[in-house]
């Protein structure tokens, strides 16, 4: 399955979850909106942090969503690679493996 297909599947799963627990889903969405505002860090910078956390926690759907957001925000492959280098430094071998996945996601979703 391609990364694009996995992203589409994750979006479908979230739509189903939203239908099942709309109040909880809306509350989580509100939390997301509150941190997406530019403040001391820009939204783009916060998405870099989120991608780093996604790699560190090995959350493939999180990698997909935050990479997609970074592409929309104009992130370059070099910028994403710099974030992933920090993930490798902080996470060692597992960070290296998931950083590879995240770069592959970026390449596929940005083409």
CATH label of the domain that carries residue 40: 1.20.1290.10
pLDDT in tens, 55-69: 999 999 999 999 999
Confidence of residue 95 (pLDDT cuts 50, 70, 90): confident
| Contact predicate 68/110, CB 8 Å | no
pTM of the model: 0.85
Structure tokens at 95: 């960070």
Alpha-helix residue ranges (DSSP H) falling in 21-76:
22-36, 43-56, 60-72
What whole-number distance in Å separates Cα of residue 18 and Cα of residue 10? 12
pLDDT in tens, 15-37: 999 999 999 999 999 999 999 88
User: Whole domain around residue 44: which residue ranges?
Assistant: 3-110
Say how many domains are in the chain: 1
Q: Which of 77, 74, 72, 47 is nearest to 62 (CA)?
A: 47
């Amino acid at each position: 399955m391609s990364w694009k297909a996995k992203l589409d599947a994750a979006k479908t799963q979230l739509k189903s979850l939203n239908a099942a627990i709309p109040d909880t889903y809306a509350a989580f969405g509100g939390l997301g909106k509150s941190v997406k505002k530019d403040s001391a860090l820009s939204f783009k910078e916060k998405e870099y942090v989120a991608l780093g956390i996604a790699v560190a926690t090995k959350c493939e759907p999180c990698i997909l969503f935050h990479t997609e957001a970074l592409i929309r925000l104009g992130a370059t492959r070099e910028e994403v690679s710099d974030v992933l280098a920090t993930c490798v430094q902080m996470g060692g071998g597992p960070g290296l493996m998931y950083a590879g996945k995240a770069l592959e996601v970026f390449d596929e979703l940005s083409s």
